[in-house]
Amino acid sequence: MRTDEFDYDLPPELIAQTPIEPRDAARLLVIHRQTGVLEHRVFADLTDYLRPPDLLVCNDSRVIPARLRGRKASGGRVEVLLLTPRDARTWEALVRGKGLRPGARIVIEDAAGAPAVAATVVAETADGARLLAFDRELAPLLWAKCLCRLTSMSRWPTPNAIRRSMRAWPAQRRRRPLGCTSRRS
């Protein structure tokens, strides 16, 4: 199977830029397996289709503001998307920027463009991600009550089709990460 088999035309004006209110008014496409008939409903109607022993799994995962922006030693711009912590200072990440081979140094900037934390590219993984060694632990910035501090130097990862920054969303619409007590996200 090739990824281009999943390509399709989706006009930009049909891509929702913000979630609908109320949330259960979101559109739901029902496919009747026996007849192949398509029916347009709303998510609030989902219970009309659940029967014993159906199982509904709810995803209550939280997203951290893991998109970081920074610069290489040359001054070139770099974007880092944190994926998985390997230890207290090392993260697997997707990195956008040219010439970021092992040994390259990245300075992550806060929202004002001031240096906040630095990282060194340690290795490239088999799937094209990079291992980054940060000059200090990110855990105090990412977890517990300190998580909110990361938002001063990071962005929420959103699909490219979503043009509006999550920072522009009303505060009550953004889910605060676990342990975050501040409303600054």
Statement: the pTM of the whole predicted model exceeds 0.85: no
- Measured between alpha carbons, how far is 112 from 115 in angstroms, rounded to an integer? 9
Tell me what the mean pLDDT of segment 1-12 comes to: 84
Per-residue CA distances from 11 to 6, 61, 80, 111, 159 (Å): 15, 29, 29, 32, 15
Closest CA to 161 of 30, 23, 15: 15
pLDDT confidence of residue 156: 57
97-113 pLDDT, tens digit each = 888 999 999 998 877 77
Which residue in this structure is represented by tokens 């990195």?
95
pLDDT, one tens digit per residue, over 71-96 is 999 999 999 988 888 988 899 999 99
User: What is the domain partition of the chain in residue ranges?
Assistant: 3-49, 63-185
Match domain 63-185 to its CATH number in 3.30.9.10, 2.60.40.10, 3.40.190.10, 2.40.10.240: 2.40.10.240
Measured between alpha carbons, how far is 95 from 77 in angstroms, rounded to an integer? 11
pLDDT band at residue 8 using 50, 70 and 90 as cut-offs? confident
